Structure 1
Amino acid sequence: MTHHSTRFALAALATATGLGLSVSACSTHDSAAPTSSTPAPPPDPGTTTASPSDIAKQKATAAYLDMWEDVANVATTSDWQSPRLADHATGDALSVLSRQMYADHYNGLITKGKPVNTPVVQSVDSQDAPKTVMIRDCSDASNWLKYRADNGQLVDNESGGKHLITAEVKLAVDGAWRVTRFAIEGIGSC
């Protein structure tokens, strides 16, 4: 598989993701809240508390961005077995990312640089108890390119360009938000 720059095998990603799977993954985060002997101050009556929907949007967006940060870091070695991939991805998303890393490892490729993501929340499944957030992103992979691991040579001279990404982020049973599926459109789709 000698594919161009870091379109991160976008064709494979786009066809392998079709949006709709549930999550169940382990996390290293401790769910127990820290205890304190000092009582918390009362809320300021002049401030408003964020709604469950707003909190879900923030956490889902952070998980989405963290997933791409993890992918960019792992791609520098194409370590398809890195546990870091499961920190913010699960289900189809994790499977696609792991397979792409394995393909790059098998073909002696690594990826340098990082994508530039600009996610926007498209929908939340519930205002009171959200469990699914849909995100739309115009990701710029122009400076996220594939290189040969053995000699450091750029695989090709094409830039990654901008790609439309649609992602599903779900609340897992452990309380963490993780990307469960995503679809990536071709270069110039946004």
Structure 2
Amino acid sequence: MKTKMLVIAGSALVVLSGCDRSSDPGMSLQQGTSVGQLTDSARDSAVTAYRAMWNVFADVGVASDPNSPLLGRHANGAALDKLKRSLQSDRENGFVSKGKPLLDPMVSAAEPHDDPKKITITDCGDSTNWLKHHKDSGLHADNALGGRRLIKAVVDKQPDGVWKVSDYAVHEIGSC
């Protein structure tokens, strides 16, 4: 089943391309994974990277700068590509973002369990106060809709020990 992804905010929690649930990062908790037993360090590091990615994205969205070196601090791979594509699209269409998302991330899976290298985060992000605006007039974009929506993200521990978001999917308003 295809789910059309919407823009969460300003510069947009990405002009996310469509994705189906089978390719959605972390759609289910792996059998045998007890999230409650994760080390605080791994959980905290993954959640911190996730929050930081969206905060940087909101900050960079004020100018719709797809080339900002800040984007790669907390994201890589497909996640970084999605952020850049969204910002590029906003720039081409004359949009900027204003505000910040409200996030409520929770770890929903970890691999491997005893020493996680990949953590899946489930969030019900709220973009009510993080919307797209026309750069020239400052008015809300016609399709600037805010609200709560399901976000699934994969955060990977890099070889240097830094955690970065490698992929994410944002669902429609009202999906959580």
SS in 1 for 2:153: strand
**Normalised by the size of structure 1, how large is the TM-score?**
0.75
In the other structure, the counterpart of 1:40 is none
One-letter identity of the residue aligned with 2:44? Q
Q: How many pairs align?
A: 158
Distance across 1 between alignment mates of 2:8 and 2:93: 13
SS in 2 for 1:167: strand
**Aligned match for 1:186, one of 165, 169, 172:** 172
Q: Any gaps of 5 or more consecutive residues in structure 2?
A: 1-5, 27-36
Q: Within 5 A, what are the aligned runs for 1:155-170?
A: 155-156=141-142, 159-170=145-156
Matched, 1:120 2:98: no
**Aligned match for 2:74, one of 67, 82, 88:** 88
Work out whether residues 53 and 126 of structure 1, in 8 Å CA contact, stay in contact via their aligned partners in 2: no
Work out whether residues 10 and 185 of structure 1, in 8 Å CA contact, stay in contact via their aligned partners in 2: no
In the other structure, the counterpart of 2:89 is 103
Aligned pair in 2 of structure 1 residues 168, 78: CA closer, same or farther (>3 Å)? Answer: same
Q: Which has the higher strand share?
A: 2
In the other structure, the counterpart of 1:6 is 9
Distance across 2 between alignment mates of 1:61 and 1:5: 19
Q: Percent identity?
A: 39
Q: Within 5 A, what are the aligned runs for 1:68-83?
A: 68-83=54-69
One-letter identity of the residue aligned with 1:6? A
Work out whether residues 109 and 121 of structure 2, in 8 Å CA contact, stay in contact via their aligned partners in 1: yes
SS in 2 for 1:12: coil
